[in-house]
Structure 1
Amino acid sequence: MSTTANTGTVVTVWFVTTTDPAAVIASEPRSDRGFGRKYLAQLNPAWPITPIGQFALNRSVPASTDEYYIAGYPGLTLVQTVIEDVSLLSELDPRLLNSLPANDVYVFATDPATGFGGIAHFRDGEVVRSLCARRDRLYEDIGLPDPFELPFWAGDHDDGNGTGIDLPFHPVDLVPAAQRAWLGFDLAADGPDVHVTAFAVDGRPEPRFLGEPDRSTPDLDTVVGRASSKLGISVRDPGYDDYESHDGDDGDGDEFRRLAEAGTAAARRIGRIITRRGRTLAATVGQKLRHTDRP
């Protein structure tokens, strides 16, 4: 996940073709690194694309400058990045807005440093609703308010700290409410995991460990490798079906999933070997004990 600071507005775009986005998210589908790489290569072929991690978006910090968090699910695609000087979502760069085919496109933008919040819904390329504001300034108000907005405009979310000309709510608070209403789910830490793959486009090198695991403990590959070596087996044996590669046409898919599957299979195999050797040892010891009383 990102370790650099944001210098602009975090913009999250959802391309929707399914009738039930919440059901897709509830199944916790995995993200595909190959899809994200191809998407960015089409968005801007000149970018140097570096994978920098795979993790749950709802359990991480947002994307930072020159970073893209991407996930392509069945009927639902997510792209999150940072854009400078965003105040009118209706004028969002068409290259991003039209980068994938979708009847409905939902855009959410936040900048907690300035208090800016923006929501927009596009249908067939036309703006249905766009509201972009800070508490003390309304930048854009296109279309009719959706029902979920009414309590905000009515002052139900007013903390009493605004002035007479301020909006009766903080626009950043409107963003999660819009997502719940339009997509049917929250990006909450205790909700379903929204798996994404992160990329950088500023030429930085690929990190040694994607996702930055805790270096104080060995990772799964190291543990399995050490145990396998001691038992005289190889977790990379190409003749063993549990380690067969199941890549599709694009060989840059979900590497974390394959590593986990290989590790689990190796652990099972190690367990079976230990069990068999343990039984053999127990039988040998038992045989010797039966003969200890003999001269």
Structure 2
Amino acid sequence: MSFPAVITLWFVNAADVAAVVSREPKADRGFGRKYLAQLNPTWPITPIGQFPLNRSTQPSRDEFYIAGYPGITIVQTFVDSISKLSEVPPRLLRSVAAADVYAFGVGTDSTFAGFAHFHGDSVRRAFSATRTTIFEDVGLPQPFEAPYWAGEMAQQIGGISLPFEPCDLATAAQESWLGLDVSPTGPDINVVAYAVDGRPEPKVNTTVKRSPSTNEAAAKFAASRSDYDDYQAIDTEPEGDGFATVVDQSLTAAQRLGQRLMRGARGVKNNVIERIRHSDRRSSD
């Protein structure tokens, strides 16, 4: 039995993964293109986005999310069929030379999940399962696994089911091995997304006309009159109907705000004067 899943590979040559990622470096579009061209020279490669991996939707078929940082390469993609993370397709597993490779997988339509740590050519630890079936359990359980096996991290459903959700254990493995918070609350793990199915690159319409915002109009107005005397009459010449309207609205709003502030200040002042005026009366009482 095997499952469609999204797998994430971390190729690590850096001593401190968290230190590199915590600086939130930007992913290089050129690196991803070169990586995919070497993986399969016949693919038509199309950039389709750039965003944080830990705050994005999962890739679909024929999509790759890629980042190349100093000493670290991240590749996330969809696979049609997998049941053991130690059996990640070799073309992916060996696509980047690294001292350590960490693989994590989560099923797209099942409770399947797993993780594996490769050091050189050997598998140090690998585990893959659904909530009711273990497909792989290689190496000794790591300390981070203890509360999951003890049933402390999930509601128990009885029967032959595991005492935890496999996807939760896979996330714990990722955070423990990488020393990094990979949840949406962690630092941005910036990646570039690519498609290899020939789709065109998304178009961004840059010709849409819009009226200037109030802030933009006010800034433009202030810049053009930055040297005028506060008490000097200003002879303004609007630069267009839209701009004049926004400026008028800005000035009107400012005048109204100033009037309200003046009224409030006078009220506070009168209240203070009255308190001072009657303070001797209160003390004598």
| TM-score after normalising by structure 2 | 0.73
Query: Is 1:8–1:65's contact at 8 Å kept on the other side of the alignment?
Result: no
> Are 1:107 and 2:103 matched, yes or no?
yes
Query: Is 1:112–1:172's contact at 8 Å kept on the other side of the alignment?
Result: no
Q: Which residue of 2 aligns with 1:193?
A: 188
Offset of 1:200 from its aligned partner? Answer: 0.4
Percent identical: 50
1:49 to 1:112, Cα distance in 2 relative to 1, 3 A: closer
State the alpha-carbon separation in 2 of the partners of residues 43 and 22 from structure 1.
27
The one-letter code matched in structure 1 to 2:165 is: H
Q: Which residue of 1 aligns with 2:24?
A: 28
State the alpha-carbon separation in 1 of the partners of residues 233 and 154 from structure 2.
81
- Tell me the SS of whatever aligns to 2:74: strand
Q: Which residue of 2 aligns with 1:146?
A: 142
Deviations 1:162-221 (A, max 9, x none): 31x222211111011001110011222222111110000111111113xxxxx9xxx7x9
Query: Is 1:176–1:186's contact at 8 Å kept on the other side of the alignment?
Result: no
> Are 1:279 and 2:242 matched, yes or no?
no
Offset of 1:158 from its aligned partner? Answer: 4.2
The one-letter code matched in structure 1 to 2:136 is: E
State the alpha-carbon separation in 2 of the partners of residues 222 and 101 from structure 1.
46
Is there any run of 5+ residues in structure 2 with no aligned partner, and where? Answer: 236-285
Offset of 1:77 from its aligned partner? Answer: 1.1
Q: Which residue of 2 aligns with 1:202?
A: 197
- Tell me the SS of whatever aligns to 1:166: coil
User: How is 1:57-136 mapped onto 2 (pairs within 5 angstroms)?
Assistant: 57-136=53-132
Q: Larger Cα Rg: Structure 1 or Structure 2? A: 2
The one-letter code matched in structure 2 to 1:166 is: S
Return structure 1 stretches of 4+ with deviation > 6 angstroms: none
Offset of 1:112 from its aligned partner? Answer: 4.9
Is there any run of 5+ residues in structure 1 with no aligned partner, and where? Answer: 1-6, 210-214, 228-266, 290-295
CA RMSD of aligned residues (A): 2.7
Q: Which residue of 1 aligns with 2:168?
A: 173
Q: How many residues align?
A: 229
Deviations 1:85-122 (A, max 9, x none): 11012121111111111100000000152100110000
The one-letter code matched in structure 2 to 1:196 is: V
Offset of 1:275 from its aligned partner? Answer: 5.0
State the alpha-carbon separation in 1 of the partners of residues 162 and 191 from structure 2.
34
Query: Is 2:4–2:108's contact at 8 Å kept on the other side of the alignment?
Result: no
| TM-score after normalising by structure 1 | 0.71
State the alpha-carbon separation in 2 of the partners of residues 284 and 88 from structure 1.
75
